[in-house]
Amino acid sequence: MPGLLQAGVIWLDVTRLVSRAGRGVLTGIDRVELAYLEHLLTCPTAAVRFLLRSTRGYILLDKDGGKVLRDLVLGQMPLGPADRLSRLFGKGTDPRHRVEASLRPLAIARCLRGGLGRMIGRMAKGPGWYLNIGHTGLSAARLAAFSSQSEMRVAVLIHDLIPITHPDLVAPGMPARFATRLDAVRAYADLVICNSAATAGELKRHWAGGQSPHRIVAHLGVEAALRDDTARDRRHVVMLGTIEPRKNHGLMLDTWEVLARDLPQDHLPQLHIIGPTGWQVDALMERLARHPLLGRAIHHHGPLSEAEVRRHLARAAALVFPSLAEGYGYPPLEAALAGAMPICSDLSVFRETLGNSAVYVPHQDAYSWAETIKKLLVVSDELPSLPPPKAPGWDAHFETVGAFLAHP
């Protein structure tokens, strides 16, 4: 399976992964960048470069360095001690600086911040592509350093436009910063990879008028879990994802309060909230900590390992996903493949990726959600049987992207 192998020399930006190593469970975007790293490690050594923005400049790795980074990110190799540069210019004990210290001796090239273009010119051997997958480092300076090389092209994967389309759901200042990044992508990218047609449509509207890079849609790969319906518990319900405003956890707390008023304890579905705590949720977390149903019908687990998440999905009758905005949305797809019924907000991207493999709730009110959950999990004699989603694997994603990189 050639995938990206057919595209010549690939320079993958791994700055996001370096920043995430040693910090626990990976986010969806982290996992996409990791999938690219693991795929490119199957390429011939000469065809692969891994670039990271370090504390003082840039570090360039070959395949051997990429393998060490992968092992550090996956926790298969312990983080080493900080080196002198990390202690001098960083915090020293910060996981990112310890990762940089582990990778610096493996560098095939290094440069200070202003020397990236010269390093690229020195190390580039023939035509190649710079790939930025993680929304990190989308600065005009970095993209221009590659775009200015006569035989280098630039490809960027855009996961969503939520800071633009839903500025109220992100941190203050993020909409302006994200708009600046998109301006840089428009100015210097040769290709934009969109994870969904929904994202591609939003990007088209944002860039309406004037020139913009070519866009392709390549659905992200989803690994099918081993399915065991014998362990299914119709009262076991999972909500999976970072606790942040757009994930809409507050609506599920409201929903379970409605359910608790209508149902006896032995019929009450059990909501298992899984995921790290994000930003601007202090009031929500305080409400959750004091909730009368906590420990009785609502269970807060925090971030769990992938193996633990798979065990929950294998047992769950359903996954609730009332998100207000998504560019792709891994959890509903993963739940459906594991045999847990996705109950989702009615977003166009879910219609695109899940089709008839999910139940959609068109309203953002607790009563509608409670009635849907009661009908599906409590009142009916059997759980509804939904068709499995036509979820792509990573091979299909890389074939789509690689075909364009080889023949732009």
159 pLDDT more than 70: yes
91 pLDDT more than 70: no
Per-residue pLDDT, 201: 97
DSSP E strand boundaries for 85-213: 109-112, 128-132, 152-158, 191-194
List the one residue out of 34, 9, 26, 22 whose CA is nearest residue 95: 22
Mean of pLDDT values over 314-342: 95
Q: What's the CATH fold of domain 3-221+394-406?
A: Rossmann fold (3.40.50)
380 pLDDT more than 90: no
Tell me the C-alpha distance between 86 and 361, whole Å: 50
Q: What are the residues facing 392 on neighbouring strands?
A: none
Model pLDDT for residues 203-257, shown as the tens digit of each residue: 999 999 889 999 999 999 998 776 777 778 999 999 999 999 999 999 999 999 9
Q: What's the CATH fold of domain 229-379?
A: Rossmann fold (3.40.50)
Per-residue pLDDT, 317: 96
Q: What is the pTM of this model?
A: 0.94
Per-residue pLDDT, 5: 62
Per-residue pLDDT, 88: 67
Same fold, 3-221+394-406 and 229-379: yes
Spatial contact of 216 and 231, defined as CB atoms under 8 Å apart: no
Q: What is the mean pLDDT of the chain?
A: 92
In whole angstroms, what separates CA 370 from the centre of its chain?
29
Per-residue pLDDT, 1: 44
Per-residue pLDDT, 249: 97
Tell me the C-alpha distance between 397 and 375, whole Å: 37
Q: Which helix (H) or strand (E) holds 13?
A: strand 9-13
- Looking at the chain, the number of H-run helices and the number of E-run strands are 17, 14
Spatial contact of 349 and 199, defined as CB atoms under 8 Å apart: yes
Q: What is the CA radius of gyration of the chain?
A: 22
Model pLDDT for residues 58-89, shown as the tens digit of each residue: 999 999 999 999 999 998 988 887 777 766 66
pLDDT band at 200 (very low <50, low <70, confident <90, very high): very high
Q: Between these two residues, 229 and 400, which has the higher pLDDT value?
A: 400
* Per-domain residue ranges of the chain: 3-221+394-406, 229-379
Tell me the C-alpha distance between 106 and 96, whole Å: 16
List the one residue out of 337, 342, 323 whose CA is nearest residue 384: 342
386 pLDDT more than 60: yes
Quote the tokens at residue 336: 């459906």
Q: Between these two residues, 93 and 35, which has the higher pLDDT value?
A: 35
pLDDT band at 286 (very low <50, low <70, confident <90, very high): very high
Per DSSP, 294 falls in state: B
115 pLDDT more than 80: yes
Per-residue pLDDT, 230: 73
Sorted by sequence, the CB contacts under 8 Å of residue 307 that are 6+ apart come out as: none
